[in-house]
Amino acid sequence: MATKDPTAVERANLLNMAKLSIKGLIESALSFGRTLDSDYPPLQQFFVVMEHCLKHGLKVRKSFLSYNKTIWGPLELVEKLYPEAEEIGASVRDLPGLKTPLGRARAWLRLALMQKKMADYLRCLIIQRDLLSEFYEYHALMMEEEGAVIVGLLVGLNVIDANLCVKGEDLDSQVGVIDFSMYLKNEEDIGNKERNAQIAAILDQKNYVEELNRQLNSTVSSLHSRVDSLEKSNTKLIEELAIAKNNIIKLQEENHQLRSENKLILMKTQQQLEVTKVDVETELQTYKHSRQGLDEMYSEARRQLRDESQLRQDVESELAVQVSMKHETELAMKLLEKDIHEKQDALIGLRQQLEEVKAINIEMYQKLQGSEDGLKEKNEIMAQLEEKTNTITAAMRQLEQSDNDLLTQTRTIAMSLVKCASSDTQDQYKLVKDISF
């Protein structure tokens, strides 16, 4: 016979041990019927078998002081491949009592089992064979088909509930030795187990019957109490039924009255609706007539608006003409004022000359009385003076006449200015007053 590859034999042995361990753990856990803890022997042996499976074919890494061979490296790689595993990695690194990579790896396996995600984490790991080749030899269990089989078997552990205390457990110094006595069975053990199973079945049946009896007793007592309560509620319901019948009779009478009242209200409402309909029709006719009148008024108002706008344009044009005339009139008034002032100055000068002439005439008259000799000469001088006086008087009369004419023209211009622009009434009134003065 050809010799078998020792590494293949090792992988087959580890695969068989993993099968036995997982199968025994599931069967014992289901028969145990409660949450598993750290002291449960099949669970401890399962972790030992998993540790041996992960250590198979592991490469030796050289460190600064010694050679290191641990399974924490590939397990730590799961965080990069499976984002949900970051939480479990952080929890393992935060545990205060762990000092070695092996202890952290054992804690990681226990937390993954409690999360029921060990199969998912390891499946992501064995798929990436190129990354695993950095930690395992080519003939390692995790690099071959046996690793995928073990990962498939781990899915069955999701039916187990485990409550493991990782924080206070010494995981660094534990010795991982497989106890084969748990998986080796003889005929006596098989017979004892069968008898124990039969006894357990009988005890289970006895307990089931007792429990069923207890439940029946409780059910009977509850039914008695329920019958009593139903009798009491029945009497109450009978009383309530009588009261309800009386209420129904009263409600029927009230309903009859309400129906009669409703009929009367309906008749009155119909009459009011007819009257309201007639009123609405008359109001509609009135509205139509008023609408026609309003349309005519609107057209008339639009026509008046057009006329007013045209009139306003004409008035604005006239106002512009009046404003230009006002400017011209103001200029003429200024020229007239200048001429009046010059004539007044001339009139004042003539009055002064007249006063001088009067003074000379009086002086000459006095001299005429004093000297009869020069009477003739004085008479001649007097005649000359009278001639001059007459000429001056005529000139003064002409000046007064021209002054009166100028005043009349000024008043006429001022009155025309008052009529042209009402906004300058106060200033024009002052100007007319000054001219009149």
Per residue in 67-116, pLDDT (tens digit) is 456 888 888 888 888 888 888 888 988 888 888 898 898 889 989 988 88
Q: Examine the pLDDT at 368 and tell me if it is beyond 80.
A: no
Q: Examine the pLDDT at 65 and tell me if it is beyond 50.
A: no
Identify which of 156, 137, 5 has the alpha carbon closest to the alpha carbon of residue 58: 137
User: Hey, which of 26-30, 39-43, 223-227, 240-244 has the most confident mean pLDDT?
Assistant: 240-244
Report the distance separating Cα 227 and Cα 217, nearest Å: 15
Q: What average pLDDT does this structure show over 11-22?
A: 90
Q: What average pLDDT does this structure show over 1-22?
A: 84
Element housing 62 (H / E)? strand 61-62
Report the distance separating Cα 6 and Cα 11, nearest Å: 9
Per residue in 204-239, pLDDT (tens digit) is 566 667 667 777 887 888 888 888 888 888 888 999
Identify which of 159, 181, 147, 128 has the alpha carbon closest to the alpha carbon of residue 50: 147
Q: What average pLDDT does this structure show over 44-72?
A: 78
Helix, strand, coil percentages in the chain from 3-state DSSP, rounded to 5: 80, 0, 15
Question: What pLDDT does 310 receive?
Answer: 92
Question: What pLDDT does 321 receive?
Answer: 92
Per residue in 276-305, pLDDT (tens digit) is 999 898 988 898 888 888 888 888 989 999
Question: What pLDDT does 199 receive?
Answer: 62
Question: What pLDDT does 307 receive?
Answer: 92
Q: Examine the pLDDT at 370 and tell me if it is beyond 60.
A: yes
Both tokens of 401, joined, read 């006449």
Question: What pLDDT does 348 receive?
Answer: 92
Confidence category of residue 365, pLDDT binned at 50, 70, 90: confident
Q: Examine the pLDDT at 345 and tell me if it is beyond 70.
A: yes
Residue 22: CB atoms within 10 A of its CB come to 21
Confidence category of residue 249, pLDDT binned at 50, 70, 90: very high
Q: What average pLDDT does this structure show over 187-195?
A: 56
Confidence category of residue 306, pLDDT binned at 50, 70, 90: very high
Report the distance separating Cα 423 and Cα 417, nearest Å: 11
Both tokens of 108, joined, read 């990681």
Q: What average pLDDT does this structure show over 192-200?
A: 60
Q: What percent of the chain has pLDDT over 70?
A: 85
Q: Examine the pLDDT at 417 and tell me if it is beyond 60.
A: yes
Q: For the chain, what is the mean pLDDT? A: 83
Question: What pLDDT does 437 receive?
Answer: 47
Q: Examine the pLDDT at 4 and tell me if it is beyond 80.
A: no
- Beta strand 67-68 with 61-62 is antiparallel
Helix axes 145-154, 118-127, angle to 10 degrees: 160
